[in-house]
C-alpha cells in the first residue's frame, strides 16, 4: 500500500486506525481485521470521530497521534462531491453530546456477535468485559451509545434522504446468517435480514437458551442463590482476580499458539455465569437505547431475559464495525500513514 501524507487526505475520506493498546489489539482480533477505530475527514485538515466524550472534531494530526498507522479509504466511484457526507458529519458534531463511545462497549458487541476462538482465559475475559461495559452504559445517562465506525457509516448512509444514493456503503453480512440459527422459542425473534451476527456467536446461543425452560430455570436458581454453585478451582480464582488488560494479554498470547480444538472447553464457555453477564449487559443496553419503552418493559425476570436479548439482537444486527469499513467493497484503500 502506498505511503501518503496527511495533506493528501480529502473531505469525505474514511480513516481507519491500527492502535497498539491491548484493547485495540483485542478489537482487531475479535473483528478479524487490522483496524480498531474510524473517523471521517471533513476537510481543512480536520476529522470528526466518536469518542468517550461524544462526537468531536480534531485535527488529523491530533487524531492519529497515538495510532501505529492509519489506512485512508475513499469511494471507488466518484459521486462528484462529498459535501453531503461532510454536512452530515457536521450535523452529528452539533448534537455530539447526545452520544458516547467507549472501546469496551464495542468489545462487548464484538464478543457477543462474532465466533470467538476459545481458550481458558476467554470466559473470564468476556464476563469482565460485559460487566464493565454494562456499568459504562448505565453511567452514560441519556447519551446514546454510538460506536466510532457506526458514526462514520451513518455519515454516508444518511448523506441524502433517498434510498440507494451514491453514498450508500454495502456492508456484507456473514455467510451463515444468525437468523437461520435462532430457534425462536419463548419469544426469541429472528435476526435482521442483513444480520452482522455470526450464527455460532454467543448472542445467538443466549437467545436460544433464554427460550429454553430448563436452562432458564437453572439460571434463575443460580442467580437467586437457591442452588449452590460449584467451587472455583485455583486457576479460576487466579483469573477472577486478573484485570481486563491482563486477561486480554494472556488470551491473545494463548490464541496465537498452535493448539488442538477442545469441544469440552468450548462447551464450558456457555455457562449460566456467562449468561448472567450477557443478560446484565443486554439489560443496560436496553435501558439506554429503548428508554421510551422502559415503562412497559417486562418486570418478570423470566420474561425480561428473552425481551432484552431480543432487543439487543435486533439493534446490533446492523451495527457497522471498523473491520466492516475496512472490507467494504464500495471503498478502496488509497494510502497509509505511519
Does residue 83 fall inside a structural domain?
yes
Does residue 293 fall inside a structural domain?
yes
Asked whether residue 151 falls in the same domain as residue 233, the answer is: no
Asked whether residue 274 falls in the same domain as residue 256, the answer is: yes
**pLDDT at residue 304 is higher than 70:** yes
Which pLDDT value is given to residue 296?
47
Q: What is the C-alpha to C-alpha distance for residues 108 and 126, in angstroms, rounded to an integer?
A: 7
Does residue 243 fall inside a structural domain?
yes
Q: What percent of the chain has pLDDT over 70?
A: 83
Domain CATH for 92 = 3.90.1720.10
Q: What is the C-alpha to C-alpha distance for residues 225 and 221, in angstroms, rounded to an integer?
A: 6
Number of domains in the chain: 2
CA-to-CA dists, residue 253 to 28, 47, 65, 120, 263, angstroms? 14, 34, 26, 12, 20
Does residue 106 fall inside a structural domain?
no
Q: What is the mean pLDDT of residues 249-266?
A: 83
Which tens digits make up the pLDDT trace of 81-118? 999 999 999 999 999 888 988 999 999 999 999 999 99
pLDDT band, very low/low/confident/very high, at 225 (cuts 50, 70, 90): low
**DSSP assignment of 217-273:** HHHHHHHHTSSPPPPPPHHHHHHHTS-HHHHHHHHHHHHTS-----HHHHHHHS-HH
Which tens digits make up the pLDDT trace of 117-162? 999 999 999 999 999 999 999 988 778 899 999 999 999 999 999 8
Asked whether residue 28 falls in the same domain as residue 83, the answer is: yes
Which tens digits make up the pLDDT trace of 40-82? 999 999 999 999 889 999 999 999 999 999 999 999 999 999 9
Asked whether residue 254 falls in the same domain as residue 329, the answer is: no
Does residue 304 fall inside a structural domain?
yes
Looking up cell 440507494 gives 164
Which pLDDT value is given to residue 172?
76
Asked whether residue 243 falls in the same domain as residue 153, the answer is: no
Least confident span in 15-24, 207-216, 292-301: 292-301
Asked whether residue 16 falls in the same domain as residue 129, the answer is: no
Does residue 76 fall inside a structural domain?
yes
Which tens digits make up the pLDDT trace of 27-38? 999 999 999 999
What average pLDDT does the chain have? Answer: 86
Asked whether residue 158 falls in the same domain as residue 46, the answer is: yes
Asked whether residue 183 falls in the same domain as residue 304, the answer is: yes
Asked whether residue 269 falls in the same domain as residue 152, the answer is: no
Asked whether residue 293 falls in the same domain as residue 213, the answer is: yes
Does residue 233 fall inside a structural domain?
yes
Asked whether residue 161 falls in the same domain as residue 214, the answer is: no
Does residue 118 fall inside a structural domain?
no
Asked whether residue 181 falls in the same domain as residue 161, the answer is: no
The pTM of this model reads 0.87
Instruction: Tell me how far the alpha carbon of residue 149 is from its chain's centroid.
Output: 9
> Which structural domain, as residue segments, surrounds residue 251?
125-135+176-316
Amino acid at each position: 500500500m502506498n505511503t501518503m501524507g496527511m495533506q493528501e487526505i480529502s473531505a469525505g475520506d474514511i480513516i481507519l486506525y491500527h492502535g497498539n493498546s491491548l484493547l485495540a489489539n483485542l478489537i482487531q482480533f475479535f473483528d478479524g481485521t487490522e483496524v480498531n477505530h474510524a473517523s471521517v475527514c471533513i476537510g481543512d485538515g480536520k476529522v470528526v470521530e466518536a469518542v468517550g466524550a461524544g462526537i468531536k472534531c480534531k485535527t488529523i494530526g491530533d487524531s492519529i497521534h497515538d495510532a501505529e498507522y492509519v489506512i485512508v479509504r475513499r469511494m471507488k466511484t466518484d459521486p462528484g462531491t462529498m459535501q453531503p457526507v461532510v454536512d452530515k458529519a457536521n450535523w452529528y458534531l452539533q448534537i455530539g453530546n447526545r452520544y458516547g463511545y467507549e472501546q469496551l462497549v464495542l468489545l462487548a458487541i464484538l464478543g457477543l456477535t462474532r465466533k470467538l476462538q476459545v481458550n481458558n482465559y476467554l470466559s473470564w475475559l468476556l464476563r469482565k468485559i460485559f460487566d464493565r461495559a454494562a456499568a459504562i452504559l448505565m453511567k452514560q445517562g441519556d447519551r446514546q451509545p454510538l460506536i466510532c465506525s457506526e458514526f462514520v457509516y451513518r455519515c454516508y448512509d444518511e448523506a441524502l434522504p433517498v434510498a440507494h444514493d451514491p453514498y450508500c456503503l454495502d456492508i456484507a453480512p456473514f455467510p451463515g446468517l444468525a437468523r437461520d440459527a435462532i430457534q425462536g422459542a419463548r419469544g426469541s425473534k429472528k435476526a435482521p435480514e442483513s444480520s452482522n451476527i455470526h450464527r455460532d456467536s454467543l448472542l445467538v446461543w443466549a437467545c436460544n437458551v433464554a427460550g429454553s425452560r430448563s436452562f432458564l430455570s437453572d439460571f434463575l436458581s443460580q442467580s437467586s442463590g437457591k442452588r449452590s454453585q460449584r467451587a472455583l478451582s485455583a486457576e479460576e480464582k487466579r483469573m477472577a482476580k486478573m484485570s481486563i488488560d491482563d486477561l486480554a494479554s494472556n488470551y491473545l498470547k494463548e490464541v496465537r499458539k498452535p493448539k488442538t480444538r477442545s469441544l469440552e472447553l468450548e462447551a464450558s464457555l456457555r455457562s449460566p455465569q456467562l449468561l448472567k453477564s450477557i443478560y446484565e449487559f443486554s439489560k443496560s443496553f436496553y435501558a439506554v437505547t429503548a428508554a421510551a419503552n422502559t415503562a412497559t418493559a417486562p418486570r418478570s425476570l423470566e420474561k425480561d431475559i428473552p425481551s432484552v436479548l431480543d432487543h439487543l439482537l435486533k439493534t446490533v444486527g446492523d451495527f457497522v464495525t471498523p473491520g466492516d469499513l475496512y472490507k467494504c467493497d464500495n471503498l478502496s484503500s488509497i494510502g497509509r500513514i505511519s
